[in-house]
Amino acid sequence: MIIPHQMKGKSVAILGLGRSGMGACHALLAAEAKCYIYDDHQIPDHSPKGAMITAPDAWPWAELDALVISPGIPTTYPKPHPVASMAKANGVPIISDITLMTGAGIKAKIIGITGTNGKSTTTSLVTHLLHRMGISAQSGGNIGTPVMALDDPGPDGVIVLELSSYQLDISPGLKLDAAAVLNITPDHLDRHGGWDGYVASKARIADALPQSQSLLIGNDAGCLALANHLSHQGVQIDPKCAPQTGLPPSLRGAHNQMNIAAAISLLGQLGVSAADWGNLLSDFVGLPHRMEWVAHHKGVDFINDSKATNGVAAAKALNSFPNIYWIAGGRMKDDVLGDAINALDHVCQAYLIGECTDHFAKALDGLVPYHKSGDIIVATRQAYDAARHDAKPGATVLLSPAAASFDQFANFEERGTYFRDAVESMLSQDHKRDQAHV
């Protein structure tokens, strides 16, 4: 645990008691701060010893030194949470758990990674490479472990942070030793007051760097727009620095070439280099729900890319496999299929699920054959049967929804797990049927 000793004796309120909020609470209590905690939806059965579960109306606002707010809670757009408004009215700073970490005197070097897509993969890649080179490293933030639950690996170690635009908006005083913005495409625009606000939120990562350090940026149009907001020099990530051979299936596709290049460039900014990056990457297994290989059966691969909640992410998956039986749909984003509509060359058939079925069907009409499957179980069976019938080389049943999951699932992780289970159940049934015919 990282203990924010700078908060000793301070009074802090915490809004949102998910992983980051509870991690901040435990760390603040360890630092001997006074904590008032609240959540609109989930109140723990047993609060951490010393914390006070109290409605915000009863908080001693005149005494509070900070409000630690969970990233998913809006502070400005589309409408500030009432507690955020109360904090502003009382002159109480709104911060994140990352702000607490920054002020805790971390000895390790800190890398920050943001972008619309690829953050988690690149964060994991950097951490993997550091481990393979014998360097102590931990990762957290928007991925995995909340930052206050990390341990400081010390002056010879590195902390790798995945940072969302939400987190960057509420992390004043953030300090980084190296940082990258991988790409910027329209997403979460309602939370930032539109495109310009979204770009500006990503640009805040540059303010966390020392003046001598350049910000690494992608080569897409959004990153070019970012240049107008930067307080530092921006240096484009060069995909040519990524190895072309010896890479595992989890790093397939042109988008992963950029992720690898970003990881290598970030390490270069810390003075870390290797003679053979490909060898160090060869055993990278990838992340769940991000172009995750699930199974191979009778010439058909099954890929779980449930994390692809927008058209840009889905397009990258659609460009990575030769003959695709595509499962798509869910709760639609504002741009319908977005970039995915221009990445259909490898799609043999589409299988549509969820709320946006009719909208996706209209968008795909005349471009690729589609089926209104309704749910993942039906879609998976239909896609597999078609792939077996067509018997095309490299046939892939791909879940890459290009939509949010909240119409049928709690989150994209649950959707991906449901797909995995559907594949496992279907293949088990097929195996039993094959055995019965022997």
**In angstroms, rounded to a whole number, what is the distance separating the alpha carbons of residues 434 and 369?**
30
The single residue listed with the structure tokens 């589409």 is 350
Query: For position 408, what pLDDT does the model report?
Result: 95
61: exposed, middle or buried (C-beta count within 10 Å: 0-12, 13-18, 19+)? middle
Query: For position 45, what pLDDT does the model report?
Result: 67
Longest dimension (CA), the chain: 78
Cα torsion 144, 149, 153, 155: sign: positive
Sheet hosting strand 137-141, strand order edge to edge: 137-141, 158-162, 109-114, 178-181, 215-217, 234-236
Query: For position 41, what pLDDT does the model report?
Result: 84
Query: For position 435, what pLDDT does the model report?
Result: 78
Query: For position 438, what pLDDT does the model report?
Result: 61
Cβ atoms 83, 54 nearer than 8 A? no
Non-local (6+) Cβ contacts of 293 within 8 A are 249, 250, 286, 301, 302, 303, 304
Q: How many residues does the chain have?
A: 438
Q: Tokens for 433?
A: 């049927």
Question: End-to-end distance of the chain based on CA atoms, in angstroms?
Answer: 57
| Tens digit of pLDDT at every position of the chain (438 positions) | 999 999 999 999 999 998 899 999 999 999 999 999 999 987 766 678 899 999 999 999 999 999 999 998 999 999 999 999 999 999 999 999 999 999 999 999 999 999 988 898 999 999 999 999 999 999 999 887 899 999 999 999 999 999 999 999 999 999 999 999 999 988 788 888 999 899 999 999 999 999 889 999 999 999 988 887 787 788 999 999 999 877 887 788 888 899 999 999 999 999 999 988 989 998 898 888 988 889 999 999 999 999 999 998 899 899 989 999 999 999 998 889 999 999 999 999 999 999 999 999 999 999 999 999 999 999 999 999 999 999 999 999 999 999 999 999 999 999 999 999 999 999 999 888 877 766
**In angstroms, rounded to a whole number, what is the distance separating the alpha carbons of residues 37 and 18?**
11
| Neighbouring-strand partners of residue 407 | none
Domains of the chain: 5-95 (3.40.50.720), 105-281 (3.40.1190.10), 292-436 (3.90.190.20)
Pairing of strands 66-69, 11-15: parallel
